[in-house]
Structure 1
Amino acid sequence: MIVALLNQKGGVGKTTLALNLAGELAGRGKRVTLIDADPQGSALDWSEQRSRCGLPRRFGVVGLARDTLHREAPELAKSVDNIIIDGPPRVAGLMRSALLAADLVLIPVQPSPLDGWASAEMLVLLGEARIYRPELVARFVLNRCDARTILARETAEMLAEHDPPLLAATIGQRVAFAAAAQTGRLVAERDDATLAAREIAALADELLRLPIGRSAP
């Protein structure tokens, strides 16, 4: 399965989700490669920091920030169980290539009307990709949120009116994510990040239950 985390809006936490989701799947015995398709290379930086800290590699991280991603990612997928793509913000060619590569598109949004409105651009690109890949599955995920707040509820209600649907799993605004990333770690590797690790595990559980299948090219 190839999962692409995409949103035209930057700063929604794509890299954090991509890394921790890859780590969660690897922790379940899956062979995982994370593709850093963001020209900023944040996932590659995290991987280098992990190496400097002497931590074992849990999954591979490769840089493929180019618009041939839709041809290269399926080839990489033949040797692993899961590919996670950390997508770019506002790079249309790369975004389209990632959409064509993916089996599942995960669209992280923060609890803000601005994030909901910005997702409209993403939905246009998703609709274009589905012309060629009608089986492409997509879901919104609320990230960096407190589900108890009025703003989070309002954002969830707004997204509930959209296709794709909103996942039940939500990821909170927790300092554990940033603290882990600074040392090349994942939240599942920190003793003080139980809630964050549980949220990532719940997200992985929900994604793995989705009906996903890739048609022959």
Structure 2
Amino acid sequence: MILTVGNTKGGVGKTTLAVNLAIERARAGRDVWLIDGDRQGTAETAISIRSEAGISPGIACSSFHDGPTLRAQVKLQGGKYDDIIIDAGGRDSTALRAALTLSDALIVPFAPRSYDVWALSDIAELVDEARSVRDGLSAYALLNLAEPKASSTDNSEAAAAVADFPQFEYLNTPLSRRKAFANAAGAGQSVMEIKPHDRKATAELQALISRLF
């Protein structure tokens, strides 16, 4: 599967999610390639930290910041891997557009904030463009950095707003705003590896992975 984690808006936890997904797929025995399509290079840095710490399994990671290079490399090397996770930059870029035309699925993380919900309209337009040239792209909206309290009205209102965008299927497996996610990714690990163990964060990520894969 080729899966892109992308949004035209930054600050939604995109890289943290991509790193966690890539590591957990590798821990499940899959041959995974993580592609960093963001010029900030945060995903590549996280995997470098993992490699330097000698954490197993290792994750193949490459950086392709422009669309033509990303497209060419995925077509050339993609057949070697079971899963390809693409971390696309938090803006409308050639890398994001290329990723959408290559992917089987897109996850659009968004936070429970009005301007994050409004920004879904931009990525929705890119999904329409990608589907016009490639059939079969599944697009999912994922509430990320959600309020930890399940009863939060911010969470429920943000989730309900996704209905205004028919391009997306809402994933009812939100990830809460927990330090464990960022701390783990910063150490080149997933929340299922890092110590001390955060059971709530682990359960949330497991629910998402079960839904996606």
Give the TM-score of the pair, scaled to structure 1: 0.90
Residue 92 (structure 1) aligns with:
93
Q: Alpha-carbon deviations, 1:86-126, whole Å to 9, x = none?
A: 00122432221111111101100011111110111111111
Counterpart for residue 33 of structure 1: 33
Q: 1:67 to 1:41 in 2, by over 3 A?
A: same
Asked whether 1:201 is paired with 2:206, we answer yes
Residues 24 and 201 in structure 1, CA contact (< 8 A), matched pair in contact too: no
Cα-to-partner distance string for 1:109-154 (whole Å, 9 max, x where unaligned): 0111111101111111111111001321111011010242101100
In the TM superposition, 1:160-199 aligns within 5 A as: 160-163=163-166, 164-191=168-195, 192-199=197-204
**Hey, what does 1:19 align to over in structure 2?**
19
Match of 1:212 in 2: none
Determine which of 149, 153, 156 is the counterpart of 2:156.
153
Map 1:138-149; keep pairs closer than 5 Å.
138-146=139-147, 147-149=150-152
Q: Which amino acid aligns with 1:18?
A: A
CA distance in 1, matches of 2:56, 2:169: 36
Deviates most, 170-179 or 88-97: 88-97
**Structure 1 residue 194 displacement after superposition:** 2.1
Residue 137 of structure 1 aligns with an amino acid whose one-letter code is S
Find the aligned partners of 1:57 and 1:43 in 2 and give their Cα distance.
Answer: 16
Q: Please give the alpha-carbon distance, in whole angstroms, between the structure 1 residues aligned to 2:104 and 2:135.
A: 10
| Distance (Å, rounded) in 1 between the aligned partners of 2:5 and 2:43 | 13
Unmatched 5+ residue regions in structure 2? none
User: Which deviates more from structure 2 when the two are superposed, residues 124-133 or residues 159-168?
Assistant: 159-168
- 2:152 and 2:142 map into 1 onto residues whose CA distance is 16
Counterparts of 2:55 and 2:26, CA distance in 1: 15
The count of residues paired between Structure 1 and Structure 2 equals 208
Matching residue of 1:214? none
Tell me the distance in 2 between the aligned counterparts of 1:135 and 1:72: 21
Give, in whole Å, the separation in 1 of the partners of 2:128 and 2:113: 23
Between the aligned partners of 2:124 and 2:74, the Cα distance in structure 1 is: 22
Cα distance, 1:182 vs structure 2: 3.0
Structure 1 consecutive aligned stretches of length 4 or more whose deviation exceeds 6 Å: none
Matches of 2:160 and 2:75, distance apart in 1: 35
Shift of 1:11: 0.8
| Farther off after superposition, 76-85 or 181-190 | 181-190
Structure 1 residue runs of 5 or longer lacking an equivalent are: 209-217
The Cα shift of 1:180 comes to 1.6
Percent identity for Structure 1 against Structure 2? 36
